[in-house]
Structure formats: structure tokens, C-alpha cells
């Protein structure tokens, strides 16, 4: 990873738009009524979670070890700002964050011609792609402005790594006596996002960092059917009209719900917890906005 990141650091990064403070985003009265007084309906929250989440063997993956981001392909100031922002988002979600000098497990690479770069990366450094299944590898290599993939491993309910038998097949010893837990959890070990340098033009460092947070911390993805959702996950979609300066309330609820819910239950229960967190956050915001 270090060789590729150092090479990318030599690339000249494109100009980024100036960040706009979140409070400068215009909101009309109708926005306040919908989000504040009424909040997000449970059905809408569940639909949102279903649209952007990806399960691995029946569970939603998340980081267990401290989050440690690194950015390459942008100027040093932009890189530091993105890293700092992602750390802040991770803390707000309930994830742990590594100290200075930690070993990176989240990487953002901004590359000239991301399609060719990722294909060359796979050819020269296949280890970057970890244990991806063929279907996920194809998605990572698919042409587009963004390439994202994660290395995920199964662990027991306590977070211990699995063992293996004489044939090298991994297994998990299940000690849970509970009927509602799976005895396993899906842990994201590392997550990599490559964005084409042309795609980041006009995007603020906060937008890029928040998009990175959703793709890596939550394993979120744009809706497969191209549906419009109120989420920064659509920031780089073709024809996207997303213009929020940062994570939306739905995004924040998604991240918090994922990291505050149990990791050793199935994706249905996890998704339910996330949806409830979204609804709760929207209600709390509504109470704060009442005169």
C-alpha cells in the first residue's frame, strides 16, 4: 500500500471548492416543518437503510479497530482536512479513532484516470484487494468516477479472530446461548476508495470526507436502481443534484445506528436499529427547532 500511496502523492491534485459552513446552507420553512415537526417516518427510514446498505453473510460490517485514515493524490492541506473530518465523523458515530502515527486502515486515493489506475493497481498489487469475492472485485474494477472496496473478515461475538482447520478453512467457534444473536460479526479490516481527479473538482473537502465516511465506515453504496435519496452517498452519481455541504441527517443517523447497535446480530435487526436511530434523531431535531 505504501508504494502506491507514495506514488499517488506525487500527483498534482485538482482545485477543490471552498468549504461552506453548514449553517450557511439555505433552508426554507417547508424544510423545517418536514424534518423538524414531523421528523422522518419509520417507513421512510427503513426504506433508506435498505437502499444504501450492503450485507455480508447476513450482517452489516463495521470497523472494530480504531479508524485511521490516509489521503493521497491531493495537496497536503486538503489531505489533512479530509483526514481530520473523517476522524470527527467516526467519533460522532461511536467508532474509535487511532492516535497520531497509527497504521492506516482507510485510504482515499485521488487519481488521474481512476479506471486505469485501479486496473493497474490490481495487476501490480493484488494484495490491495484483499479477500474480495469475484463479484465484489468486478464491482471494484467497474468503470466510473469512484471505485470502492473493503476487506472484511468474520469474527466471533467477542471480536476475536476466527481460527482455521488443517485444510486452511476458517471457522468461528460459537459460544452464544442467545437465540437472537448469530455468534459472529462482520468486521471491516481496511477500506479503500479511489476517486477520479476530475470528479472532485467543485466538491469541498467536507463533502469528500463525508462521502468517504459513508463508503468506508458504513460500507454504504448508492442505490442500485438509481433512486434519489437524501444522502451524500449520491455525491458522485451521474446526474446527481446533491448539493448539501455535508452529511445529511439521514446519513448521521445511519452511521450512529450502525455503530451503536449490536454487531453480533443479523442485518435485519441491525437495519431496524439504524432506522430507529434515524427516526429518533429526526424527532430530537424537531424538538430543538420548536419555538
Per-residue pLDDT of the chain (291 residues), as tens digits, is: 444 554 443 334 455 554 443 333 333 332 222 233 358 899 999 999 999 999 999 999 999 999 999 999 999 999 999 999 999 999 999 999 999 889 999 999 999 999 999 999 999 999 889 889 999 999 999 999 999 999 999 998 877 876 544 444 454 444 444 556 788 999 999 999 999 999 999 999 999 999 999 999 999 999 987 778 899 999 999 888 888 999 999 999 999 999 999 999 999 999 999 999 999 988 887 655 555
Domains in the chain, number = 1
Residue 27 resides in a domain: no
* Cβ(205)–Cβ(83) below 8 Å: no
pTM over 0.75: yes
Residue 55 resides in a domain: yes
CB count in 10 Å sphere of residue 162: 14
The domain in which residue 226 lies consists of 2-14+35-164+174-289
Pull the grid cell for residue 146: 469512484
Among the listed residues 75, 80, 85, the one whose alpha carbon sits nearest the alpha carbon of residue 16: 75
Residue 24 resides in a domain: no
Give whole-number Cα distances, 282 to 41, 42, 228, 277, in Å: 9, 11, 19, 9
Residue 246 resides in a domain: yes
Compute the chain's Rg from CA coordinates. 19
Cβ neighbors of 196 (< 8 A, separation 6 or more) are 110, 111, 112, 113, 114, 115, 145, 146
Residue 205 resides in a domain: yes
Amino acid at each position: 500500500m505504501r508504494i502506491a500511496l507514495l506514488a499517488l502523492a506525487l500527483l498534482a491534485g485538482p482545485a477543490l471548492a471552498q468549504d461552506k459552513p453548514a449553517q450557511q446552507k439555505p433552508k426554507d420553512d417547508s424544510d423545517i416543518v418536514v424534518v423538524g415537526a414531523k421528523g422522518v417516518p419509520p417507513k421512510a427510514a427503513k426504506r433508506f437503510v435498505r437502499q444504501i446498505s450492503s450485507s455480508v453473510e447476513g450482517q452489516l460490517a463495521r470497523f472494530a479497530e480504531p479508524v485511521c485514515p490516509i489521503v493521497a493524490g491531493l495537496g497536503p492541506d486538503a489531505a489533512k482536512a479530509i483526514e481530520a473530518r473523517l476522524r470527527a465523523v467516526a467519533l460522532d458515530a461511536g467508532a474509535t479513532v487511532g492516535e497520531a502515527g497509527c497504521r492506516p486502515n482507510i485510504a482515499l486515493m485521488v487519481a488521474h484516470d481512476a479506471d486505469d489506475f485501479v486496473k493497474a493497481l490490481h495487476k501490480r498489487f493484488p494484495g490491495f484487494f484483499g479477500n474480495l469475492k469475484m463479484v465484489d472485485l468486478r464491482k471494484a474494477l467497474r468503470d466510473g468516477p469512484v471505485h470502492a472496496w473493503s476487506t472484511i473478515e468474520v469474527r466471533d461475538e467477542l471480536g476475536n479472530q476466527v481460527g482455521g482447520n488443517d485444510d486452511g478453512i476458517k471457522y468461528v467457534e460459537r459460544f452464544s446461548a442467545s437465540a437472537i444473536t448469530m455468534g459472529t460479526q462482520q468486521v471491516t479490516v481496511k477500506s479503500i476508495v479511489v476517486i477520479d481527479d476530475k470528479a472532485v473538482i467543485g466538491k469541498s473537502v467536507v463533502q469528500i470526507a463525508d462521502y468517504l465516511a459513508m463508503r468506508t465506515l458504513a460500507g454504504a453504496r448508492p442505490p442500485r436502481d438509481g433512486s434519489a435519496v437524501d444522502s451524500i452517498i449520491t455525491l458522485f452519481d451521474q446526474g446527481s443534484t446533491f448539493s448539501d455541504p455535508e452529511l445529511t441527517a439521514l446519513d448521521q443517523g445511519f452511521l450512529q445506528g450502525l455503530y451503536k447497535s449490536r454487531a453480533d446480530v443479523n442485518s435485519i435487526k441491525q437495519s431496524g436499529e439504524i432506522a430507529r436511530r434515524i427516526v429518533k434523531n429526526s424527532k430530537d431535531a424537531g424538538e430543538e427547532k420548536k419555538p
